[in-house]
Copies of this chain bind each other. A is one copy, B any other.
Amino acid sequence: MQTELAGKKKTKPVKKGKVNRRAELLQKAGELMADKGYEGASMRNIADAVGILPGSVYYHFESKEALFEELHRNIVAAMTQRVKDAVAEFTDPWDRLEAAACAHIEGLLETGNQVAIVSPGFARQPEGIESVVREERRTYEDIFRMLLDALDLPEGTDRTLMRLSLFGTLNWAPVWFQPGGTYKPSDIAHQHIGVLRRAYSG
């Protein structure tokens, strides 16, 4: 759920029953950007979704880029948590990898594709931000790097290409996946890992 993904991060304690506008803005911005891309989601759209005027957004965030940066950080953090939690339930390396893949793609597809933002394929992020964002992304990807390292594979197997292929399969899904269609998100992960398993350890 969105709320879980983005909402847990209150940096400053909020008083009263009043909604936390910061969180609300991040939430709606996430949805809109996931749907229409960074540039496609205008500050007006975001403000409208929250029920304030565009200018008012600038009380909460210095700029659209700053808003995106925080959003990105939140999402990576939430995804990291999600994947780590999923992995923790297993001990077999292949099971752990599959759990991670499932967690990743479920995060991707169940949250209205919000996490697509995490991928560099996400339609044109602001230029200046790339470095910040890239590092966060790398940290997240390291989880998968480690999970692959833990596998017992035939000598000479290129784990980098394996990871890239896995991410490709998973991150490409938002492009064609239809919720309520033939497949569950986990099917995608399951099938890909299944192939790898059979190829390398069968």
Bitwise interface map of A from 159 to 198 toward B, beta carbon under 8 Å scored 1, else 0: 0111011011111111110000011000110011011101
Rounded to whole Å, the gap between the CB of A112 and the closest CB of chain B is 15
Q: Is residue A146 within 8 Å, beta carbon to beta carbon, of the partner chain?
A: no
| Cα A189 to Cα B167 with chains together (Å) | 14
**A93 near B: Cβ within 8 Å?**
no
Residues of B within 8 A of A165 (CB): 169, 188, 191-192, 195
Asked whether, in the complex, the Cβ of B176 is within 8 Å of the Cβ of A120, the reply is: yes
The answer, yes or no, to whether A202 is at the interface (CB within 8 Å) is yes
Does any Cβ of B come within 8 Å of A123's Cβ? yes
Contact of A195 among B160, B167, B199 (CB under 8 A): B199
| A176–B167 alpha-carbon span in the complex (Å) | 11
Within 8 A of B (CB), among A138-172: 158, 160-162, 164-165, 167-172
A36: Cβ under 8 A from any B Cβ: yes
A188-B164 in contact (CB<8A): yes
Give Cα A195 to B182, complex, Å.
25
Is A121 an interface residue when CB atoms closer than 8 A count as contact? Answer: yes
In the complex, the answer to whether B39 meets A161 with C-beta atoms within 8 Å is no
Question: Contacts of A160 on B, CB cut-off 8 Å?
Answer: 182
Q: Which chain B residues border A199 with CB–CB below 8 Å?
A: 194-196, 198-199, 202
Alpha-carbon distance between A158 and B167 when the two chains are bound, in angstroms: 20
B183 engages A172 (CB within 8 Å): no
- Asked whether A40 is an interface residue with its Cβ less than 8 Å from the other chain, the reply is yes
Of B39, B182, B187, B192, which is within 8 A of A39 by CB?
Answer: B39
**Which 7 residue pairs across A and B have the least CB separation, nearest first?**
A168-B172, A123-B123, A121-B175, A168-B169, A199-B199, A198-B199, A165-B169
